[in-house]
Amino acid sequence: MDDASGERTALSPEASHFLVQLSIALAKIATYPAGHPSLESAVQSLTLRLDHLLTERQTIGIGVAKDRLVMEGGTTDSSNALLRGLAEALHRHQIGAVTFSHGVSPVEVSSFLSALSREVRGEAPIGSLDAADLARWPNIGLLPVALDELELAEGQARSSRLEQLWLSMAAATLQRGPHELGHERVGSGDLAQAIRVNAHDASYDRVIADYMRRVSRELAELGNAGSTVALQMGDLLSSVDTATMSMLLELGSDTSARLDMVRDMARVLPAKAVVSLTKAAADASKRTISESLLRLFSKLAANVEDDAGPVSAASDSALRDAIAQLSEGWTLADPNPEQYRGLLVELARPSRNGRSLSESEPWIDAIRIVHVALDTSSVGPAVWRCLNRLIDFGRLEEVVDALDRAEADDVAGRIREYLATPATVRKVLSGHQSRKAVDRLLDWTRLESAQALLDSLETADSRATRRQIIDRLKDFGQPLGPMLVDRLERGPWYVQRNMLYLLAEIDWIPPDFAPDRWLELEDDRVRHEAIRVALRVKGWRTQAITTGLDDDNPRILRLVLAAALEDCPPGIGTALIDLADDPAIDRNVRLQAIRVLGMVRTSESRDWLIRRITGRRRWWRWWSMAPKSPEVITAITTLRDLWAGQPIVERTLKRVLRNPDPEIRAAASAKDVAA
């Protein structure tokens, strides 16, 4: 993404290497004919990197713009020709986001890249395919942009196009295809809830931000403030919290385009939504609007929605003109002189004859009392009641912002302590609060609230909330251990999985803990975490590796093979040979098994590696090489690295060095091997 200064947030090295490898694989598939040896190598390397990235993730998501990609919060450089080509290929096929999940195979990757490499002139774009066609890639998820639905047919009204665009935005927000919605009416509250739940997934955010920008542009061109879509868009912007809306605006446009959007939308959105959009755009653009001016805007919006005749019309015109002028000159941190700021405070106070702001926003009085408590350094029962009311209304973020701006005194500390109590933690985590608010609450939470966090972990519907809770629990360290063991004994499978995961993360295991009960469970997610724990338990490491080698789950196999590669226990040579010889096992697992086999210092493992290289002997030739394959290359490098020095191995490597293939010779070459 780009920040307010126009600077791009760089990709992590891990994400950058993956996208480059994906781009290279796509380029090779588009260049070489089917069956070319370079294709298999490229796909295998890409799948191996995917497996590595998915070891500790559920999915990998990539958001797509016309000339750049978004992954894990970072954005590619549009001047990078290789990555720009990948973005353009995905965009041509009307793909807004793509995800890779556990279990993705080389066959799936090859098939998907082959489809992506084809021109869209002669066939339907991938993004327009129905669910039955996409089922051939079960572990590759696609979020279509549905551009084909947005083109105006001859004579079609712009209002019809706008409705189609809104429908496509609703489908993308709910992560469903437009054809799945049909003519179903989706409420703005449903869309706001979906955005809150899925926010901070970079690929999802990029798609929704792009849709919001396009809906805004269409609304501005249509210029109909009373249209159904304008009202729906207004409800949506009013329902999404400011932090999430600011993040979406950051993704969707730069500062200049963002201010243009505010000016355009100020003419067509409902008044309340205009205020929400202005605040979010200011935050996204790193501009400041004074609290007093925001209160004045909110009061004008409340007067507009009163529908009280001339006063309403005048308030509406004043609000929209003021926001248009404000967006022209956003340059100072606080552009208001002291006297003008005082005047705004007076103007923002509730009128004696009209409806007060607190009547249109029932939580406003509560946050004002909290502000007064912080300003006067006094606190009492009224403040606690107001805090509870703000939590009920989902406005904890306003409290967090007030505490961030307040001086670090006793009152601010007492409010934080009140919010971090077990009862309040349970209440906050069971409601709908912004991610920023939950993050700060968890920062203040101490070990005495750990049971409340564990209760919430068992019931939280949002994956993002569960991840926040788990991250905070990990920070408690070893004192959390007894609580985890207690719940491990009596919880359902998903509780057992989370407790085992946390036990491994805090690196505290009871001295008499026996994980064998969970090593044999049917659910492979629990078994995976049980093996992670068993690998840390004294006396159980060998059994954990042995048990894992008999498993049929590739993720578990990779886990125990990685552990064996660090410290190989004796007696696993036969199990490794069985894995390496089994064609039904994922090739990447077989390659890892071959590497580990080299560490098993037995003649059986050494002879198997030699046989894997030499293949079958023929009567007219004393020695011959097996056909080139990743397994053969891995067997050669394993012999070279771990068995060099033994006469039979040296003779084998010398013969391999005579092979005409440069990759095979490179695998066998080493300083201590004579040519």
Torsion from C-alpha of 171, 177, 179, 180, nearest 10 degrees: -80
pLDDT-based confidence at residue 4 (cuts at 50, 70, 90): very low
Please report the pLDDT score of residue 96 as a whole number. 76
Cα separation, 517 vs 31, whole angstroms:
52
Query: Residue 9 has what DSSP assignment?
Result: P
Structure confidence by residue, pLDDT tens digits, 449-498: 888 888 888 777 777 788 888 888 888 888 888 888 888 777 777 888 88
For helices 435-444 and 242-252, the axis angle rounded to 10 degrees is 120
Q: Are 468 and 438 in contact (CB under 8 A)?
A: yes
Residues in the chain: 675
Structure confidence by residue, pLDDT tens digits, 185-204: 566 777 777 777 776 666 66
For residues 108 and 363, which has the higher predicted lDDT (pLDDT)?
108
Q: What percent of the chain has pLDDT over 70?
A: 73
Please report the pLDDT score of residue 539 as a whole number. 78
Q: What sign results for the dihedral spanned by CA atoms 408, 411, 417, 419?
A: negative
Q: What percent of the chain has pLDDT over 90?
A: 0
Average pLDDT score over residue span 255-266: 67
For residues 565 and 241, which has the higher predicted lDDT (pLDDT)?
565
pLDDT-based confidence at residue 351 (cuts at 50, 70, 90): very low
The least confident of 348-352, 432-436, 519-523, 607-611 is 348-352
| CA distance readout (Å), 370 to 366, 419, 437, 622 | 7, 13, 16, 89
The least confident of 77-81, 157-161, 346-350 is 346-350
Torsion from C-alpha of 349, 355, 356, 360, nearest 10 degrees: -140
Please report the pLDDT score of residue 675 as a whole number. 40
The position carrying tokens 């429908």 is 167
Please report the pLDDT score of residue 317 as a whole number. 67
Given a cut of 50, whether residue 419 has pLDDT beyond it is yes
pLDDT-based confidence at residue 270 (cuts at 50, 70, 90): confident
Please report the pLDDT score of residue 293 as a whole number. 64
Nearest to 233 by CA among 291, 206, 273: 273
pLDDT-based confidence at residue 225 (cuts at 50, 70, 90): low
Average pLDDT score over residue span 61-88: 79
Please report the pLDDT score of residue 315 as a whole number. 61
Cα separation, 291 vs 288, whole angstroms:
9
Please report the pLDDT score of residue 341 as a whole number. 47
The least confident of 8-12, 18-22, 208-212, 624-628 is 8-12
Please report the pLDDT score of residue 227 as a whole number. 67
Classified as helix, coil or strand, 208 is helix
Please report the pLDDT score of residue 487 as a whole number. 82
Cα separation, 178 vs 137, whole angstroms:
20
Nearest to 660 by CA among 632, 612, 628, 613: 628
Give 356-414 as a DSSP string: -HHHHSTTHHHHHHHHHHHHHT---HHHHHHHHHHHHTT-HHHHHHHHHHS-SSHHHHH
Give 246-264 as a DSSP string: HHHHHHH--HHHHHHHHHH
Given a cut of 60, whether residue 611 has pLDDT beyond it is yes
pLDDT-based confidence at residue 622 (cuts at 50, 70, 90): low
Structure confidence by residue, pLDDT tens digits, 226-237: 567 777 777 777
Classified as helix, coil or strand, 205 is helix
Given a cut of 50, whether residue 304 has pLDDT beyond it is yes
Helix (H) or strand (E) holding 136: none
Q: What is the pTM of this model?
A: 0.42
User: For residue 539, what are the contacts with CB-CB under 8 A and spacing of at least 6?
Assistant: none
How many CB atoms within 10 Å of residue 622? 8
Cα separation, 427 vs 424, whole angstroms:
5
- Dmax (CA) of the chain: 108
446 phi and psi angles, rounded to 5 deg: -110, 180
Cα separation, 359 vs 350, whole angstroms:
10
Give 187-224 as a DSSP string: -HHHHHHHHHHHTT-HHHHHHHHHHHHHHHHHHHHH--
Classified as helix, coil or strand, 502 is helix
Given a cut of 50, whether residue 559 has pLDDT beyond it is yes
For residues 221 and 60, which has the higher predicted lDDT (pLDDT)?
60
Cα separation, 433 vs 197, whole angstroms:
10
Average pLDDT score over residue span 544-558: 86
Strand order in the sheet with 69-71: 74-75, 69-71, 59-64, 95-101, 140-144
CA 546 to chain centre: 34
Structure confidence by residue, pLDDT tens digits, 11-68: 777 888 888 888 888 888 888 787 777 788 888 888 888 888 888 777 788 878 777 8
Please report the pLDDT score of residue 79 as a whole number. 79
Q: What is the rounded end-to-end Cα distance, in angstroms, of the chain?
A: 53
Beta bridge partners of 618: 621
Given a cut of 50, whether residue 358 has pLDDT beyond it is no
Residue 249, amino acid: L
Please report the pLDDT score of residue 352 as a whole number. 36
What value does the mean pLDDT of the chain take? Answer: 75
How many CB atoms within 10 Å of residue 640? 20
Nearest to 456 by CA among 484, 434, 423, 426: 426
